[in-house]
């Protein structure tokens, strides 16, 4: 009986420790800055910077720029791990072909992945495909 109680106590400790490790430490409001310098490829896409609000709830980022379904809209989503690492996805709609790679037309839907690393009050990220874009996150 003693061994069973000790085993159950140990199991409860493991479960509580695992739950604590999954508790999101990044929840709350965030400021997102997306900066894409001019693209020097065949298309000479112009550079731009967008600033928009984000919210992390239960370890999931959701940040929106613009109005959903309209040109210029971005939606940045994804889970932030307990260690601050994240692979996020940005879904968007082209606003102006002069700022889009490959001269993508206004209204074209696109998406890409972002690798990011968060600290308690800041973070950085990079676009993984296409043109170079940098993300900064602050509280």
pLDDT in tens, 48-79: 999 999 999 999 999 999 999 999 999 999 99
pLDDT for the residue numbered 44:
81
Domains of the chain are 25-138 (2.40.160)
CA 46 to chain centre: 23
pLDDT of residue 5: 52
Mean pLDDT for 16-40 is 77
User: Do residues 137 and 118 lie in contact, with contact meaning Cβ atoms separated by under 8 Å?
Assistant: yes
Could you tell me the pTM of the whole model?
0.81
- Nearest by Cα to 62 from 22, 34, 28: 28
The answer to whether 75 touches 93, Cβ cutoff 8 Å, is: no
Arithmetic mean of pLDDT, 76-105: 95
Q: Which residues pair with 9 in a beta bridge?
A: none
* pLDDT digits 0-9 by tens, 116-126: 999 999 999 99
pLDDT of residue 20 exceeding 50, the answer is: no
């Amino acid at each position: 009986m003693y061994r069973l109680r000790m085993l159950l106590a140990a199991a409860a400790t493991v479960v509580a420790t695992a739950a604590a490790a999954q508790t999101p430490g990044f929840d709350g409001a965030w400021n997102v800055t997306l900066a894409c310098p001019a693209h020097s490829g065949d298309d000479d896409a112009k550079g731009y910077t967008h600033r928009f609000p984000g919210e992390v709830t239960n370890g999931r980022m959701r940040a929106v720029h613009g109005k959903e379904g309209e040109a210029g809209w971005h939606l940045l989503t994804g889970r932030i791990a307990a260690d601050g690492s994240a692979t996020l996805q940005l879904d968007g709609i082209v606003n102006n072909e002069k700022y889009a790679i490959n001269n993508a037309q206004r209204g074209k839907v696109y998406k890409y992945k972002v690798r990011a690393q968060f600290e308690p009050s800041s973070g950085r990220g990079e676009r993984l495909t296409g043109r170079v874009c940098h993300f900064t996150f602050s509280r």
